[in-house]
Chain A
Amino acid sequence: MSTAVPSPQSTSSRRRPSARSVLVWTLVALAGATAWTVLALARGESVSALWILFAALASYAIAYRFYARFITYRVLRADDARATPAERLHNGVDYEVTDRRVLFGHHFAAIAGAGPLVGPVLAAQMGYLPGTVWIVAGVVFAGAVQDLTVLFFSMRRDGKSLGQMVREEIGPVGGAAALVAVFAIMIIILAVLALIVVNALAESPWGVFSIALTIPIALFMGLYLRYLRPGRVLEATGIGVVLLLAAIVGGGYVEQLGLAGSLTLSKETLVLALVAYGFVASVLPVWLLLTPRDYLSTFMKVGVIVLLAVSLLIARPVLANDAVTSFAREGNGPVFAGSLFPFVFITIACGALSGFHALIASGTTPKMVAKERQVRLIGYGGMLMESFVAVSALIAASVIDQGVYFAMNSPAGATGGTAESASQFLAGIGITTPPETLTATSQAVEEEIISRTGGAPTLALGISQIFHSAFGGGLQAFWYHFAIMFEALFILTAVDAGTRVGRFMLQDTIGNVWKRFGDLSWRPGNLLASAAVVAAWGYFLYAGVTDPLGGVNQLFPLFGIANQLLAAIALTLVTTLLVKHGRARYAWVPGVPLAWDLVVTMTASWQKVFSDNPAIGYFAQADLYREARDAGRLLGAAQDAGQMQQVVTNSTVNGVLQSVFALLVVVVAVNAAVVVARALRAGSLPTTEVPAVPSRLHEPAGLFATAEEKRGAALAGREEALR
């Protein structure tokens, strides 16, 4: 390389912003401020859902342009002159320089799942405003910051995992606690995701028919990519999507095909089917089932999100939800118990702040980044996109009739399961909805809708209404099942991948004691570890499905708190690293969201463990049911003494688990505090960061190449040609 070529990082010194840029950003800020004002002030009149969309988009734009840039350039000092692991360790397999736009897609597909869709739907019981504010503020100051910083620090360490970094940078105690926490949290997440699928598919032959067909479709794609046309992902996925649509349409004819009876499955049967599926999928080769399923769900995901955004603009629906409902103030909502603080922040986990993303930001993504500064686009930008999905889900849940919303999301014990009893229940909570409305909605989507908890059916109903009003054509039942399929598809991908990752973690951990077991290619080890992981989430799934109080009601808070606790571990790591690198004056960037997250999760954990309100505290609930059982009485929806005992057992298990999660996080935080104190005293401490190696790549840092980057690339190209 001659000195004539500008080094890749040659960023100009701070230039004065052009008049045009000042004008554009002022307009964006004004538009955002207007939208927020409308949302904050409008009461009792009809508010268009588009205000939520505009408020969110304007906020994202400003956050990305200013805050994400500040973090990337000033706080992290990402340096494009430094070669990334993808460039240094390029091996054509996992370390691979990847185009930033393609990597953005990969990363987004890996972080986005059912979480950002379901959480906001459940949180809609408190009104649209608390959810909107937290989704947007949370992503800007917490969620996207976490994803960006974890991605950056992992990239500086050749793509080390979160657990490894905690062990090496904080200490063995914190590392062990983090490892156990990650594993346990994954089990709960898998159980809750599977629960959502079970609730959506139970007694729904149409749904079961379409979802079951995704398995042979994925197998066909796997074989196609392996033997017929290796590598032709687009072809295979194209065929897969067409078959998938055919499966959804075909599901509408189960009655005529005479399959309705055999495909009407109870929740218990579905649990067994899912457990068997999870086990088989975890031991099959990835190319046969997991990879093709992943392609399908990614294409469906991106397609539906684009379709939803477009149809929102066409349909311009009006919000049927209140801005803030009485449940937010009184904490007595039927969907989940607890007041706005802290439970709205627990329920909307993904979409605002999701600890699970830290596992992905420290997994495959950091090994593929071409240029350090691209972490802004991939880490921060990817999370903004996820947040946008959450906002869309919140809108979909807020445009449907509120009576229908509560009839769908309240447990069967409350609604009684019929349109008439549900209508009476609604009257009891101050909502007037005649049974005819519920029956008409049910007929429109050709499914039972009373007590279809879990969020997925509600979201599907909202999406079907929006699509129906945007595109017309009397296809509401098709759109409903299309949306169910879309959710179930990537939940199953998550169950499949999660079980496998859990298996790897288990084999790796036990492998420290029993060498043979750690060998990933040892068949008995695979089978044993897979069975253990499946049994673990299968237990919680079964307990949730049969819980007389409603599994979502009982397990979702545990899932939400677990996810936020994982985020606390990730943010603790990042804060510690900034201090160790001698950059304590910027420690507030991850430190403030960390403090907030700790306050929220610890308050929620405290309430779930110690609250004497049996609707909130797990142990209070267990005591209440134990006493009633001993006195020979039945409570709530429990039908017999066995069910009373079930509530006692489940609540106790959940309470214990909740305490353990919180304790593990406290262990990590205390261990980190010791390290931070030492680092502050010393000014800085050595870390495991890989030393800088000059980069020879010319790649733009942002989404679009700047004039300067184009010049640099052109010069480098000429240089290469002359050589």
Chain B
Amino acid sequence: MSRAPARAPGAALRGAWGSALRGLRWCARQVDGTDRWEEHLRECAEHGHRPPTRREFERRRADARAGAVSSRCC
């Protein structure tokens, strides 16, 4: 979850600007699914599975979502 990213652009910076930049980067990676993808790679490595390509991974997720659309509210 909240693991420190390997080398964030704001990592070297200290203070408010640095943490704001790191926060922004964290948000972007969360929204973008990059964190989830890397998490999956880590899990695969841990269990000794051969990881899928990112394309396969995202496609599997998208297709699984098709049967479970949740409604949007009014």
Contact = CB atoms under 8 A, between A and B. Distances in A.
Do A and B truly interact? yes
Contacts of B68: 94, 364
Interface string A220-233: 00000110001111
22 contacts: A94-B65, A99-B2, A110-B70, A111-B73, A113-B73, A115-B73, A186-B71, A225-B62, A230-B55, A231-B57, A290-B69, A349-B74, A350-B74, A356-B71, A359-B70, A360-B73, A494-B73, A501-B70, A501-B71, A520-B67, A563-B74, A699-B1
A294 interface: yes
Contacts, number: 113
Contact of A231 (B30, B33, B70, B72): B33
Interface in A42-99: 92-94, 96-97, 99
Interface residues of A, number: 56
List the 4 closest pairs (A to B, CB-CB), nearest first. A115-B74, A230-B58, A363-B70, A231-B58
Interface of B is mostly: helix
A493 interface: yes
Interface in A693-707: 697, 699
Given A93-B61, A291-B62, A699-B1, A494 B33 contact: no
B11 to A, nearest CB: 18
Interface in A80-136: 92-94, 96-97, 99, 101-102, 105, 110-115
B74 A114 contact: yes
A490 B72 contact: yes
A370 interface: yes
B31 interface: yes
Contacts of B16: none
B45 interface: no
B46 interface: no
Contacts of A111: 73
Interface of A is mostly: helix
Contacts of A141: none
A291 B2 CA distance: 26
Nearest to A495: B72
Contact of A497 (B1, B2, B63, B71): B71
Given A114-B74, A234-B28, A99 B69 contact: no
A656 B63 CA distance: 40
Given A225-B58, A286-B62, A354-B74, A233 B69 contact: no
B26 to A, nearest CB: 9
A504 interface: yes
B10 to A, nearest CB: 17
Contacts of A357: 73
Interface string A344-376: 000001100010110110011000001000000
Interface string A457-490: 0000000000000000000000000000000001
A364 B69 CA distance: 9
A389 B30 CA distance: 24
A186 B40 CA distance: 37
A234 B31 contact: yes
Nearest to A90: B43
Interface string B4-41: 00000000000000000000000010111110110010
Contacts of A186: 71
Interface string A268-309: 000000000000000001110011001000000000000000
B59 interface: yes
